[in-house]
Amino acid sequence: MRILVIEDEAKIAQFVKRGLKEEGYAVDVAVDGEEGHFMLSSNEYDAIILDLMLPKIDGLTLCRTLRKEGNQVPIIMLTAKDTVKDKVKGLDSGADDYLPKPFAFEELLARVRVVLRKKDSRVQTQLKVEDLVLDLLTHKVTRGNREIDLTVKEYALLEYLMRNAGNIVTRTMISEHVWDINFDTFTNVIDVYINYLRNKIDSGTTEKMIHTVRGKGYLLKK
């Protein structure tokens, strides 16, 4: 899952980015509403964390603009304003949730999970393909009776492959959803991580699940 944080306070933006990346999300940061709008028009995101008080284009205006343009990506609005009237304005502008500052990161993370579940009704607490199971809450991964220990990035890559099980995903698609905007698409990092996953997921079994489709990308299939 790829998230855009639009926040002009550098400390808060980096705090949120670091925490989300530790949970396996790919995260980009925009420092004002204008940059945020440009990034949203250029990239695909699964959720937006949007500050209310932004330079150039404020959060309320940006939220309304996105909804008028037909962008329905879930938006969690962050703001120091916490009156009922302010919350109503935020929600009426098209935001899916509203979190006043200061906030505990655990609460923000929980709210991110909620809006992502609402975004895709297929999202459950677990992803399962044959005997491969990924628990979205505990981040535990098992195949059959074997528990598989994955790094944060390996987990994020496997989650993306499992959400798209049966479909070919290109290197570009993977880079956009598993890595951030600074990812160098000319490196072989994706191939390296695919091999890491193969060694862990398909190890000790004759039924291989992770396949390379020459000239196209990768496929996780039954």
Average pLDDT per consecutive 10 residues, the chain (222 residues; last block may be shorter): 93 92 90 96 93 93 94 91 72 88 90 82 73 89 92 93 91 84 79 93 87 91 78
32: amino acid identity, one letter: D
pLDDT for res 194: 94
pLDDT for res 82: 67
pLDDT for res 22: 84
pLDDT for res 91: 81
Q: For residues 72 and 47, give the distance between their C-alpha atoms in angstroms, rounded to a whole number.
A: 9
Contact indicator for 85, 60 with CB cutoff of 8 Å: no
Tens-place pLDDT, residues 182-199: 777 678 899 999 999 999
| Alpha helices (H) along 78-170 | 84-92, 105-119, 152-163
Q: For residues 80 and 54, give the distance between their C-alpha atoms in angstroms, rounded to a whole number.
A: 12
Domains of the chain and CATH, by start = 2-119 (3.40.50.2300), 126-220 (1.10.10.10)
pLDDT for res 120: 62
